[in-house]
A and B are shown apart, each in its own frame.
Chain A
Amino acid sequence: MAVTREEMLGSYKRPSFWQTLSPVDWLWALLVLAGWRESYLISPDVGHVPVSNLYEVFVLFAIITALIYLFYEGRYRTRQLGGFVLLVISSAVAFLLWYSFTRNAAEIQPLVPALQSYWMKIHVPANFIGYGAFAIAAMVGVAFLLNEKFTGLAQRMPSQDILEDVMYKSIALGFAFFTLATILGALWAAEAWGGYWSWDPKETWALIVWLNYAAWLHMRLTRGWNGAPMAWWAVIGLFVTLFAFLGVNMFLSGLHSYGEL
């Protein structure tokens, strides 16, 4: 295990999370808050937390992924993973641009009656902490696998040990919040649809994602699995997550049809 002298002495200072935020991050946060406020300016009944359709949740996804990443960047004092995580965030932003230019998706729409509930404000963000954390884990997994293949790259990257730790930490974070989100969803469903669980495609796929990461964590924590197989698994996990996030909306219909593509 590579442990530096500083770490041994435990006297190093971590930059705080707020210190890792750049002016661009603040500008971005300001723009989102401005959009949020704008929805209330249009009309008080139109105003809502911007998590109600595919455009809004994609913005949320990009923000949450970036924030979780910045948290780890500060915590592990490494900026090398940024390039990998930014691939996901950039794809999300590219999608957002396409979506708003071709479909005019950025327009603020009033909430459909089904979403006028305080549950939405917590269920959706909790879910996206899960999605964001899983995306980071997958990109760290990609970095891990590339490091194994190319020693030149590995020399510039943090140790494999740290990558595995980031991967585990972000999957654990994502899993905990995904559990929370699923339970909040069940409570909302009980209120809105009269039952905790109705095997709606989105629910079924959320369960598949949850079981997938539960198995990942179980294998690591009780079987001690590590290394490349776990990195591969984290990468595959992103595709499962992606299907639950987008595939279900595109190919399956059901009660969760708020963000059509």
Chain B
Amino acid sequence: MTARPVPVQNRRLRVIRGGQHLRPTLGTWLVFTAVAILLFFALILSRVALDKPALELSELRTQIEAGQARYQQLRLEVAQLQAPDRIMSRADELGLIYPDSLQILIADGVGDGAPAAGDRFADVKSILTAAP
């Protein structure tokens, strides 16, 4: 059990000089940058692709609204042009007058079986509901 000196271990720190081959090369940086840029643009592209239909939809909606407004304006214009008061004024301007006497001709079959007012309106309504 004699004491024996413990062998002194060399515990000096060791410098590892292997860093040069681990440092990213210029090529790696370029590839990384390119990928990053591509990803960035891909992201933008995806956003644009996603937003585009929404914008188109919005544009279409605007067009529909404008079309409807135009349709209503045209309906109004037609109604105003057909107004009896306007037609009478125009007839007066053109020098049209009532005849002194009337001769009424009655054609067989005409007028009999003519559609009722309600049915005539149904025809008109079917056109109107096809409005934009």
A and B assemble together = no
Q: Interface on A for B, CB 8 Å cutoff?
A: none
